[in-house]
Amino acid sequence: MIVTYSRNAFYYETDRMDIIHHSNYVRWLEEARINMMEQMGFPFQKLEAMGILVPVLSVETEYKFPVRFGDRFEVQSELTKFTGCKFSLEYKVMNVTQDKQSLTAKTSHCFTDTSLRPVRLKQACPELYEKYMQYLRGPVST
């Protein structure tokens, strides 16, 4: 299930190359993940209020076309792996204003307690576990 998130690029996100600084796309991916959880009906702050954190394990980004100040972008996010402890997402970021694909990305994450020790989501939060199973990309049919 591909979930989309969209807004305009902010002025303070630009750098002196007159494009969005590459580190800010990493922040947009986070905005999209948090928005995905809202769309799931389980806001991220609810998870953290239960003492469950979701640190980032890895990020991979490939920059293809710049986003500039005022351009509208759209992040298309998909949950591609979920083991119960860890999960991965894949993203496309579109420059909607320029009708170009700006970025592809992958991130991986785990669930931990507040001491950053791993927890299994099925035990720690069965309600979110069910939602993750539902949003997980199925096997690609041929």
* Of 51, 55, 118, 126, the one binding its own copies by CB under 8 A: 55
**Count of beta carbons in the 10 Å neighbourhood of residue 81:** 13
What residue type is 88 in one-letter code? S
Q: How far apart are CA 122 and CA 142, in angstroms?
A: 31
- Quick one: which of 1, 2, 6, 15 contacts its own copies (CB under 8 A)? 15
Nearer to its own copies, 30 or 78 (CB): 30
113 is catalytic: no
Q: Residue 25: which H helix or E strand, with range?
A: helix 22-40
Size of interface with its own copies, in residues (CB under 8 A): 38
58 vs 141 by CB, closer to its own copies? 58
Alpha helices in 59-142 (DSSP H): 121-124, 126-135
Residues 60-79 that bind its own copies (CB under 8 A): 60-63, 66, 68-70
Active site residue ranges: 15
